[in-house]
């Protein structure tokens, strides 16, 4: 039996978005001040947060149908799934307006 160790591929620029590419290569093109470098890191952090929230919303979206089905069948719904989806948007809205 062969012993296989897990392989982790870290350098995958073909899978990077524009923010990732800029973050990795801007230093060779631009001479940014420290606070501008922090701003690049901030853009990256916000981008990662947005992608995470999108993945969470995509996981919650199918459950919205359950609330709609309950509403159609019973004429009312406990709305167990809809608030979770709404809270994602509300949380992001509050973060942007702060």
pLDDT tens digits, 21-66: 999 999 999 999 999 999 999 999 988 888 888 888 888 888 888 8
DSSP 5: P
Contact predicate 71/95, CB 8 Å: no
Q: Which domain holds residue 54?
A: 34-97
Residue 65 to residue 82: CA distance in whole angstroms: 9
pTM of the predicted model as reported, rounded to 2 decimal places: 0.63
Does the residue 40 lie in any domain?
yes
Does the residue 9 lie in any domain?
no
Helix (H) or strand (E) holding 95: helix 82-97
CA-CA distances (angstroms) from residue 54 to 1, 6, 15, 69? 42, 28, 17, 24
Q: For a pLDDT cut of 90, what percent of the chain falls above it?
A: 27
Residue with more model confidence, 18 or 1: 18
Q: Tell me the average pLDDT of the chain.
A: 84
Does the residue 75 lie in any domain?
yes
Domain count of the fold of the chain: 1
Does the residue 52 lie in any domain?
yes
């Amino acid at each position: 039996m062969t012993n296989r160790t897990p392989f982790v591929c870290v350098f995958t620029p073909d899978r990077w978005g524009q923010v990732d590419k800029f973050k990795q290569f801007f230093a060779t093109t631009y001479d940014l001040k420290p606070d501008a470098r922090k701003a690049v890191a901030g853009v990256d952090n916000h981008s990662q947060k947005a992608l995470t929230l999108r993945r969470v919303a995509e996981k919650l979206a199918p459950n919205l149908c359950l609330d709609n089905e309950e509403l159609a069948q019973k004429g009312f719904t406990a709305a167990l799934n809809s608030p979770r989806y709404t809270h994602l948007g509300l949380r992001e809205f509050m973060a942007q307006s702060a």
